[in-house]
């Protein structure tokens, strides 16, 4: 069917609006001086150099990386059995369990961070990293459960039963037969959860403290103190890496279907 | 029908995750909820009354809802044409389009929002271009206005709307559209009478996601609204961390939860039964 | 004592037709028994209960005199063949067949030998390194069969194994299955909704309906002498008319229907008296057409004739209703017009309406 030029115009506006800012910041980060003008005055890579030199970014990067890996793995390891139970069994309270594990995606993350701060960090003196880890893991459950259960639903249960009838226990059949065939889904869930944790501000905001901050929180803090293209350079690096990951993941297993 | 050892297996499967969730997710929320109505003398709803009575909190709440509605409306308006074209693309081009659309969702929020500072700032790209073109005499203030927040939130949440609309429209066969066309419906008529009703479920779902996302987002209003234009999230942060007003922050937190849950519940009712 | 016994089995609480109640089934060693019925009749539930995937609320599953009722499915040594083949998509054909042996910790050289033998048996030697996706439907089903029999199961269960294959392949696979089962002396339970399949493969057929066994017997018995109206219809007694009992004699019933008088000599005469209304049924293939009136002839008129390959089907309109008559293509063809439908007394069955 013929599509009107109006439609295409709207389409281009949407894409410019969504992606244009990324282009702007990429260009601005090569600024020659300390002003944040666009188009930039002059050209240099000094701000990229500075990003690598700033100690607090390096530390925050490692904190974020460890946090994201730990909470993603925990959410997947604990969430996969839940997805399995929801898809392969019918039981009383199934609805409740399903809603419960989608709740962290609905409840405002800021509120969760606030709650964890008040009752664990302040009253029980929980150290900073565990607090972040618990909060991040909680908000990643919905991703793990949803992505894994969707692909499990599309996996013929007879294949599993075949393995069981041939002598494999349920666990063995899951590990030997289901897991290898759901690799793509696990990878998609891992990437989505990892990115979600790595980018998270709302949960971390209340839970970071002296000495331990995640990268986005550190970026916010830096912005309050300085207004130079360092953040632009750091943002550019992050944007390019994210872009590469998303492109690869979309090509490999259509990550956009899992969001 | 029961499968062998079913109950034991299910318990084994869900207990670890459920305990984790109960302890580190439900418990803190329950505490927040309980604290919001607790009083040295017993139970009270007084602080909720204060929340609505005080100008600042009430205005912030209303503004938050209002901006949420605006962002949702704009997202639907911009999302439909884009989603329609994407849904009708051949598979490889659709994959490329989708991977670009979701980029704002998956990018570090500070990096994403920072770009808008560069564009919308007093000496930013936008002002320079407008002055250069002679459309405005001197730079206008956009940063630290509601407009800036709407722009930032829209970039963040438009992808969610496009995603849900694409998956809703993928399921509408092209034949249906062509049938409408062959029966004499124009482009707009086809949209209003065929595509819109058939994708209504996606619209409601997308709308829920965009609205609840908008009213709870933190980074965008923090950077683009600052302390001048507060939303619920930034007000909560201000009360808790800057003013150390825990009980005030607690009320805001509960209002945020209740509003999102209420919207989710209401819009779930709106979704067609068949889906 | 039979090799497989289901005693007094009850599955599920709901009033669901696929749920079993007070269910009994015995299968002798080396026997192939089919469970035949429409979808939702409980045949698959029965199979899954034998396999151990469903736990009965009451009753016993005995195999070789051992109580397996509470034994988990992976400890039962039962071979299962599924409608969807259920091959492991990520494993080679060799590894698919070897899976059960690996679970049983059979050593490497024995595993190789047994897998090779199993693949040779289903004529797939040389396919060891392929993946299931690289095989045709028929080949996949043969791999599934090899995978199920290589473990030397006590019992082979087959759940509609041929229904995903096209018609031509199905006939070939049927013969192959039959040969294998006889050759290996396997005790098997076969679930199907296809009566031809059940007839051609089984030593014994159980026709199931709403969780109950309607009739049990050798294929010929079921086919020619259905015991209940349900079985009759399921076995292709498509023509039916109403009549009244005129006379009851030795193994035969005289029936008056409209202006016709017919003699029926069915295997099973229901408990009827003279004057009772009855339904009379017969198959399209057993009826003949004749220009001249005669015994057991129903007058009518040919409405039209359709060509169906090896048979010609006539639709005949009679005062008693419309009947389908299937004649071999070799028989003389009839042109539209007045005709008689003739059915031998042995081919008419009588039921209470």
* Domain assignment of residue B152, yes or no: yes
- Secondary structure tally for chain C: helices H, strands E: 8, 20
Structural domain span for residue B188:
54-270
pLDDT tens-place string over residues A57-88: 999 999 999 999 999 999 999 999 999 999 99
What local confidence, expressed as pLDDT, does residue B272 receive?
62
Percent of chain A with pLDDT over 90: 68
Measured in degrees and rounded to the nearest 5, phi and psi for residue C273 equal: -115, 165
* Domain assignment of residue B40, yes or no: no
What local confidence, expressed as pLDDT, does residue B1 receive?
47
Establish if A156 touches chain C: CB-CB under 8 angstroms: yes
Look at the block and give the residue holding tokens 């618990």. Answer: A134
Residue B53 distance to chain A (closest CA, Å) = 22
The CATH number for B215's domain is 1.10.3720.10
Work out the angle between the directed axes of helices A215-225 and B109-120 (0-180°, nearest 10): 30
The total domain count for chain B is 1
* Domain assignment of residue B2, yes or no: no
Q: Please state, in angstroms and as integers, the Cα–Cα distance from residue B259 to each residue in A91, A103, B89, following that order.
A: 31, 14, 37
Residues B100 and B161: their CA atoms lie apart, in Å, by 14
Query: CB–CB of A108 and B219 under 8 A?
Result: no
The residue among C21, C42, C55 with the most chain B CBs within 10 A of its CB, best to mutate, is C55
Query: CB–CB of B1 and C54 under 8 A?
Result: yes
Residues of C in contact with A165 (CB under 8 A): 51, 73-74, 76, 78-80, 148
pLDDT tens-place string over residues B131-156: 888 888 888 899 999 999 999 999 99
What local confidence, expressed as pLDDT, does residue A86 receive?
95
Q: What would the mean pLDDT of C164-184 be, rounded to a whole number?
A: 89
* Domain assignment of residue B49, yes or no: no
User: Strand ranges (DSSP E) for B197-271?
Assistant: none
Is the separation of the CB atoms in A230 and A50 below 8 Å? Answer: yes
Residue B6 distance to chain C (closest CA, Å) = 9
CATH superfamily, domain at C4-231: P-loop containing nucleotide triphosphate hydrolases (3.40.50.300)
In the sheet with C23-27, reading across from the earlier edge strand, the strands are C23-27, C4-10, C58-63, C66-67
What local confidence, expressed as pLDDT, does residue C305 receive?
83
Percent of chain C with pLDDT over 90: 59
* Domain assignment of residue B6, yes or no: no
What local confidence, expressed as pLDDT, does residue C18 receive?
58
C-contacting residues of B 5-24, CB under 8 Å? Answer: 5-6
Least confident span in B24-38, C73-87, C302-316: C302-316
Size of interface A-B (CB pairs under 8 A): 271
Close Cβ partners of C251 (under 8 Å, ≥ 6 residues apart): C265, C269
Taking 50 as the pLDDT cut, the residues of chain A under it are 1
Is the separation of the CB atoms in C245 and C231 below 8 Å? Answer: no
Residue B55 distance to chain A (closest CA, Å) = 22
Is the separation of the CB atoms in A82 and B13 below 8 Å? Answer: yes
Pick from C191, C111, C186, C198: nearest CA to C153:
C186
What does pTM read for this prediction?
0.87
Residues of A in contact with C76 (CB under 8 A): 165
Pairing of strands C32-36, C204-209: parallel
Establish if A131 touches chain B: CB-CB under 8 angstroms: no
Question: Could you list the pLDDT tens digit for every one of the 275 residues in chain B?
Answer: 455 567 888 999 999 999 999 999 999 999 999 999 988 888 888 889 889 899 999 999 999 999 999 999 999 999 999 999 999 899 889 989 999 999 999 999 999 999 998 899 888 888 888 888 888 888 889 999 999 999 999 999 999 999 999 999 988 888 888 888 888 888 788 888 888 888 999 999 999 999 999 999 999 999 999 889 999 999 999 999 888 888 899 999 999 999 999 999 888 787 765 43
By CB atoms closer than 10 A (0-12, 13-18, 19+), residue C350 is: buried
Please give the DSSP secondary-structure letter assigned to residue A2: -
Scored b (16 or more CB within 10 A) or e, C134-171 reads: ebeebbbbbbbbbbbbbbebbbbbbbbbbebbeeebbe
Which CATH code of 1.10.3720.10, 3.40.605.10, 3.30.1330.60, 3.40.50.720 fits the domain covering A45-258? 1.10.3720.10
What local confidence, expressed as pLDDT, does residue B275 receive?
39
CATH superfamily, domain at C236-351: Nucleic acid-binding proteins (2.40.50.140)
Q: Locate the domains of chain C by residue range.
A: 4-231, 236-351
Percent of chain C with pLDDT over 70: 98
Is the separation of the CB atoms in A21 and B107 below 8 Å? Answer: no
Establish if B95 touches chain A: CB-CB under 8 angstroms: yes
Q: Locate the domains of chain A by residue range.
A: 45-258
Query: CB–CB of B1 and C70 under 8 A?
Result: no
Query: CB–CB of B105 and A259 under 8 A?
Result: yes
Q: Which of the pair, C189 or B227, is modelled with greater confidence?
A: C189
Residues of B in contact with A110 (CB under 8 A): 216, 218, 233, 236-237, 253, 256
Q: What would the mean pLDDT of C200-222 be, rounded to a whole number?
A: 92
Tell me the two tokens of residue A112.
Answer: 């969760």
User: Strand ranges (DSSP E) for B128-202?
Assistant: none
Length of chain A: 259
What local confidence, expressed as pLDDT, does residue C228 receive?
83
B-contacting residues of C 72-111, CB under 8 Å? Answer: 72-73
CA B131, chain centre distance (Å): 33
CB neighbourhood size of A1 (10 A): 9
Close Cβ partners of C284 (under 8 Å, ≥ 6 residues apart): C236, C238, C239, C313, C323, C324, C325, C326
Q: Please state, in angstroms and as integers, the Cα–Cα distance from residue C258 to each residue in B181, C302, C318, following that order.
A: 57, 19, 10
pLDDT tens-place string over residues C2-31: 899 999 888 876 666 558 888 999 999 999
Residue A183 distance to chain C (closest CA, Å) = 11
Q: What would the mean pLDDT of C261-289 be, rounded to a whole number?
A: 88
Q: ipTM score here? A: 0.91
Residues of C in contact with A164 (CB under 8 A): 53, 73-74
* Domain assignment of residue B187, yes or no: yes
């Amino acid at each position: 069917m013929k599509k009107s030029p109006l439609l295409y115009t709207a389409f281009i506006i949407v894409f410019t609006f969504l992606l244009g800012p990324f282009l702007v910041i990429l260009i601005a980060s090569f600024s020659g001086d300390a002003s944040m003008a666009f188009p930039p005055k002059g050209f240099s890579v000094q701000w990229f150099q500075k990003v690598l030199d700033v100690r607090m970014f390096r530390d925050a990067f490692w904190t974020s990386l460890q946090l994201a890996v730990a909470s993603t793995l925990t959410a997947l390891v604990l969430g996969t059995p839940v997805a399995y139970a929801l898809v392969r069994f019918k039981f009383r309270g199934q609805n409740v369990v399903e809603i419960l594990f989608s709740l962290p995606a609905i409840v405002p993350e800021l509120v969760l961070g606030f709650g964890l701060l008040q009752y664990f960090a302040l009253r029980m003196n929980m150290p900073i990293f565990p607090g972040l880890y618990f909060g991040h893991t909680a908000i990643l459950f919905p991703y793990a459960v949803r992505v894994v259960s969707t692909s499990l639903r599309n996996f013929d249960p007879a294949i599993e039963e075949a393995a069981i009838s041939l002598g494999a226990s349920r666990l063995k059949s899951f590990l030997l037969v289901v897991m290898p065939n759901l690799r793509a889904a696990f990878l998609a869930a891992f990437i989505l959860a990892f990115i979600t944790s790595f980018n998270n501000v709302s949960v971390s905001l209340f839970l970071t403290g002296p000495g331990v901050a995640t990268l986005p929180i550190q970026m916010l803090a830096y912005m309050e103190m300085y207004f130079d293209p360092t953040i632009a350079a750091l943002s550019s690096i992050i944007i390019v890496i994210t872009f590469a990951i998303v492109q690869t993941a979309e090509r490999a297993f259509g990550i956009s279907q899992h969001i | 029908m029961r499968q062998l050892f079913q109950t034991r297996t299910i318990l084994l499967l869900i207990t670890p995750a459920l305990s984790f969730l109960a302890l580190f997710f439900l418990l803190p929320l329950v505490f927040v909820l309980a604290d919001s109505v607790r009083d040295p003398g017993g139970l009270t709803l007084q602080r909720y009354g204060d929340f609505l009575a005080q100008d600042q909190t009430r205005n912030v709440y209303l503004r938050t809802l209002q901006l949420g509605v605006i962002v949702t409306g704009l997202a639907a308006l911009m999302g439909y044409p884009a989603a329609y074209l994407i849904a009708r693309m051949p598979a490889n081009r659709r994959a490329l389009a989708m991977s670009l659309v979701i980029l704002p969702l998956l990018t570090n929020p500070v990096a994403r929002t920072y770009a808008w500072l560069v564009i919308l700032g007093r000496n930013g790209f936008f002002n320079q271009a407008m002055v250069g073109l002679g459309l405005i005499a001197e730079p206008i203030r956009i940063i630290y206005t509601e407009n800036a927040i709407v722009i930032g939130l829209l970039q963040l949440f438009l992808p969610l709307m496009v995603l849900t609309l694409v998956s809703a429209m993928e399921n509408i066969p092209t034949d249906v559209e062509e049938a409408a066309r062959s029966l004499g419906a124009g482009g707009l008529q086809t949209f209003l009478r065929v595509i819109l009703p058939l994708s209504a479920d996606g619209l409601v779902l997308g709308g829920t996601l965009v609205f609840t996302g908008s009213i709870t987002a933190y980074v965008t209003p923090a950077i683009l609204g600052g302390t001048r234009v507060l939303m619920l999230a930034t007000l909560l942060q201000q009360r808790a961390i800057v003013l150390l007003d825990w009980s005030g922050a607690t009320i805001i937190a509960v209002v945020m939860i209740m509003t999102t849950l209420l919207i989710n519940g209401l819009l779930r009712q709106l979704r067609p039964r068949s889906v | 004592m039979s090799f497989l016994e289901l005693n007094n089995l009850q599955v599920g609480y709901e009033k669901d037709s696929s749920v079993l109640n007070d269910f009994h089934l015995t299968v002798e060693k080396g026997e192939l028994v089919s469970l035949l019925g429409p979808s939702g009749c409980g045949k698959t539930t029965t199979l899954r209960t034998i396999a151990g995937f469903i736990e009965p609320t009451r009753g016993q599953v005995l195999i070789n005199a051992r109580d397996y009722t509470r034994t988990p499915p992976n400890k039962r040594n039962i071979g299962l063949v599924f409608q969807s083949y259920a091959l492991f998509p990520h494993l080679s054909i060799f590894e698919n067949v070897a899976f059960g042996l690996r679970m049983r910790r059979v050593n490497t050289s024995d595993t190789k030998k047994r897998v090779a033998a199993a693949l040779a048996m289903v004529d797939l030697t040389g396919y060891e390194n392929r993946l299931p996706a690289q095989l045709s439907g028929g080949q996949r089903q043969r791999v599934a069969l090899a995978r199920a029999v290589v473990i030397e199961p006590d019992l082979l269960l087959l759940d509609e194994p041929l229904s995903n294959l096209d018609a031509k392949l199905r006939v070939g696979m049927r013969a192959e299955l039959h040969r294998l089962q006889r050759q290996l002396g396997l005790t098997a339970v076969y679930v199907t909704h296809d009566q031809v399949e059940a007839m051609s493969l089984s030593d014994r057929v159980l026709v199931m309906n709403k969780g109950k066994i309607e009739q049990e017997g050798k294929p010929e018995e079921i086919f020619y002498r259905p015991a209940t109206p349900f079985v009759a219809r399921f076995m292709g007694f498509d023509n039916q008319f109403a009549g009244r009992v005129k006379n009851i004699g030795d193994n035969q019933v005289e029936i008056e229907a409209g202006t016709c008088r017919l003699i029926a000599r069915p295997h099973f005469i229901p408990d009827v008296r003279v004057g009772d209304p009855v339904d009379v049924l017969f198959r399209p293939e057993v009826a003949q057409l004749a220009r001249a009136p005669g015994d057991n002839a129903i007058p009518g008129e040919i409405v039209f004739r359709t060509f169906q390959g090896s048979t010609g089907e006539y639709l005949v309109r009679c005062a008693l209703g419309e009947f389908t008559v299937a004649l071999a293509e070799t028989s003389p063809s009839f042109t539209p017009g007045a005709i008689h439908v003739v059915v031998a007394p042995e081919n008419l069955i009588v039921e209470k309406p």
